[in-house]
Homo-oligomer: A and B are copies of this chain.
Amino acid sequence: MRISELSRRTGVPVATIKFYLREGLLPAGTPTGRNQAQYDEFHERRLLFIRALTGIGELELSTVSGLLSAIEQRNSLPALYRAANRAAQPHLDTTKTVNDVVPERTDVDRFIADLGWQVNADVPGRERLAQVLASLRELGCGFGVDFFRPYAELAEGFAAQQLSMIPEEGQVDGAAAVARAVLLDVAIAALCGMAQEHLVAKRFGKSN
């Protein structure tokens, strides 16, 4: 198909497609003339992937580019999930976070060990959890890390549910796994927000 048809099918403007071609996010089409090229379903799928992850997934284009490289290199599924996880939860800008987070880091490490979770030392969630605890303590509305135990069990339920979609046998579709990992995070946040609004309204009324 020509670039105009590719644009029509994906909803991505021609100028944006040309930008992706220049930036190497999209491989060149097959030349059919001096200024024309043919594109195929691979290009279409790739564009839909980029649009999904930069749109509803709200990732930066550079982050999506990194994920595409990881998929093309046929990285293992654990590596792809780690990449998707780090894309959705980048390392924190430490100039804006709490400095005195040492006790909370120890608490979080112990908490993760108690859960039996085998996660890398540099998993972003570790520091994020410690920062949440330290911030709430500073604000005078903190609590101990064990408050998170039921949350952790629910999180494992989410993860198990998501993993149940991956077939036991056969080739895993890396792009599908990454897209689901990123977009299901968005879905979880959406569901948590709605559940909260529902329960708050139920308890306190819909006033105001």
Contacts and interface: CB of A to CB of B under 8 A. Distances in A.
Give the interface centre of A75, A136, A190 by most chain B CB atoms within 10 Å.
A190
A52 B138 contact: yes
Contacts of A173: 141
B151 A187 contact: yes
Contact of A189 (B48, B139, B154, B185): B185
Contacts of A183: 132, 135-136
Contact of A81 (B128, B148, B188, B197): B197
A96 B188 contact: no
B193 A55 contact: no
Contacts of A203: 163
Contact of A195 (B56, B82, B158, B201): B158
B196 A162 contact: yes
Contact of A194 (B112, B135, B160, B198): B112
Contact of A197 (B82, B135, B154): B82
A97 interface: yes
Given A92-B55, A136-B179, A119 B81 contact: no
Contact of A200 (B54, B129, B163, B202): B163
Contacts of A48: 135, 138-139
Copies in the complex: 2
Interface in A117-161: 117-120, 123-126, 128-129, 131-132, 135-136, 138-141, 143, 148, 150-152, 154-161
A23 interface: no
Given A11-B98, A155-B188, A189-B185, A176 B139 contact: yes
Interface string A35-62: 0000000000100110110111000000
B181 A196 contact: yes
Nearest to A138: B48
5 contacts: A52-B139, A54-B96, A120-B197, A125-B191, A148-B187
